[in-house]
Amino acid sequence: MSVVKLIADKLNSSIKKTGLASLVVSGGSSPIKIFDELSNTDVSWSNVQVTLVDDRLVDSKNSNSNQKLLQDNLLKNKAKSANFFPLSEDLIFNNKFKIPFDVNLLGMGEDGHFASLFPQMLTDQDAFSRNADFKIFKTLPQGDPFLPRITMNLSLILSSEFIILLVKGKAKQNILDISKNDEKYPIHHLLKNRKNDFLIEKINE
């Protein structure tokens, strides 16, 4: 089953059960093709809530904005009627966004980071403990581009009903293999804490 069909099926199943579905996605280049295909897929989009797992703290029209990437590549065509919630520190407390998330679509960097959870943050228990309270928090500038960010923590990401990890290119796939047994990579802490309802999708460049 393709990733697009899997996401659509999960969303439609949740809508059928509860009348609502939630989709959390990452930015970057890895999901763009999936976003484009998903935007043309038959889902009851008006019953779908969409947000980002992380974003750069820039204007939403800035080329470095994940929100802009989402508007340009997913929230169009049939998916134009989806309900988009910009990522904010109070998103999980406003009682409007459906948690647990139905689907969380993640990417991974060549340093093993996911969301905006980077190697230099590994000692931060609020960020990386699976038992931490759910949290969305801002960070100092980091990553490439080197910008301040906002991100979900690991425990909130793990609350998702289904997680899909996109790993694009041989370099990242090699890091993924190494990180399975090396806790210095952030992705290790996702892998070790999530065995079920989890799909790793390798994408060749």
Give burial (CB, 10 Å; 0-12/13-18/19+) of 169: middle
Block means of pLDDT (10 residues each) for the chain, 205 residues, are 95 98 96 97 98 98 97 98 96 89 97 98 97 97 96 98 97 97 97 96 89
The reported pLDDT for the residue numbered 93 is: 85
Which secondary structure element, helix H or strand E, spans residue 127, and what is its range?
helix 125-128
What pLDDT score does 112 carry?
A: 97
Q: Contact at 8 Å (CB) between 48 and 97? A: no
| Beta-bridge mates of residue 21 | 48
Cα–Cα distance, 199 to 197 (Å, whole number): 7
pLDDT tens sequence across 25-42: 999 999 999 999 999 999
Phi, psi of 124 (to 5 degrees): -85, 105
Neighbours of 159 (CB within 10 A): 16
Amino acid at 189: H
What would the pLDDT profile of 93-133 be if each residue is shown by its tens digit? 877 899 999 999 999 999 999 999 999 999 999 999 999 99
Q: What is the reported pLDDT for 185? A: 98
Structure tokens at 96: 């409007």
Please tell me the predicted confidence (pLDDT) of residue 177. 97
Determine the pLDDT at residue 155: 98
User: Is residue 156 left, alpha or beta, with left meaning phi > 0 and alpha meaning psi from -120 to 50?
Assistant: alpha
Q: How do 21-25 and 136-142 pair as beta strands?
A: unpaired
